[in-house]
Amino acid sequence: MNNRSQKILPVIMPVMMAPKARPDDRFRLQRWHGFALVAVLITASIPAFAATDPARASMFEVLQRWMPLLLKGFVFNIIISISAMAIGTVAGAVLGLGQISLIAPVRKISWLITQFFRNAPWLVLLFFAMFLLPFELKIFGLTIPLPDWLKAMFGLSLPVMANVSEIVRGGVMSLPSGQWEAAESLAFSRQQTLWRIILPQCVKRMLPPWMNLYSILTMATVLASIVGVSEVMTLTGQALAAEGGRSDLLIPFYSFVLFLFFIYCYPIARWTVRLEKKFAVIT
Amino acid sequence: MEVFFEWFRVLYDETGINLPFLYDSYDRNRMVDGFFMTVKLSIVCLFFSVVIGVVGAWLQNSPLKWTRRIVNVYIQLFRNTPPLVQLYFFYFAISSLMPTVDNGFGGQQPMLGGFAWAAISLSFFAGAYNVEIFRAGIEAVPNSTIEAAEALGFSRLTTYVYITLPLAFRVALPSLNNNLVNLVKTTTLAYAIAVPEMLYEANQIWSDNVNVTEMMIFLLLIYFALVGVLVWGMNSWERKLKIPGFGN
Which among B81, B96, B220 has CB closest to A120? B220
- The answer to whether residue A41 neighbours chain B at the CB level (below 8 Å) is no
**Inter-residue contact A78 to B82 (CB < 8 Å):** no
User: pLDDT digit string (tens) for A55-76?
Assistant: 566 777 888 888 889 999 999 9
A233–B88: do the CB atoms touch at under 8 Å? yes
CA distances B171 to B34, B51, B141, B168, B239, Å, are: 34, 17, 8, 5, 12
pLDDT for the residue B246: 64
Confidence of residue B247 (pLDDT cuts 50, 70, 90): low
Which among A122, A218, A255 has CB closest to B185? A122
Considering only residues 191 to 220 of chain A, which have any Cβ-Cβ distance to chain B shorter than 8 Å?
215, 218-220
Whether residue A159 is contained in a domain is answered as: yes
- Domain containing A135 — which CATH number? 1.10.3720.10
Q: Give the range of the structural domain holding residue A229, as residue numbers without chain letter.
A: 58-279
B97–A265: do the CB atoms touch at under 8 Å? no
For chain B, give every domain's residue range: 2-94+112-241
CA distances A131 to A220, B19, B210, Å, are: 18, 17, 11
Whether residue A268 is contained in a domain is answered as: yes
Query: Is the torsion defined by CA of B108, A257, A149, A130 positive or negative?
Result: positive
A17–B77: do the CB atoms touch at under 8 Å? no
A10–B151: do the CB atoms touch at under 8 Å? yes
A132–B212: do the CB atoms touch at under 8 Å? yes
ipTM (interface predicted TM): 0.83
Q: What is the mean pLDDT of residues B150-173?
A: 89
Whether residue A104 is contained in a domain is answered as: yes
Whether residue A72 is contained in a domain is answered as: yes
Pick from B216, B228, B218, B217: nearest CA to B185: B228
Which CATH code, of 1.10.3720.10, 1.25.40.10, 3.90.950.20, 3.50.50.60, is assigned to B2-94+112-241?
Answer: 1.10.3720.10
Whether residue A13 is contained in a domain is answered as: no
Mean pLDDT check: name the lowest of A109-123, B13-27, B132-146, B218-232.
Answer: B13-27
For residues A10 and A138, the model is more confident at A138
All residues of chain A having their beta carbon less than 8 Å from the beta carbon of residue B212 are 131-132
Considering only residues 146 to 205 of chain B, which have any Cβ-Cβ distance to chain A shorter than 8 Å?
146-147, 150-153, 155-157, 181, 185-189, 191-192, 199, 203
Q: Total structural domains in chain A? A: 1
pTM: 0.81
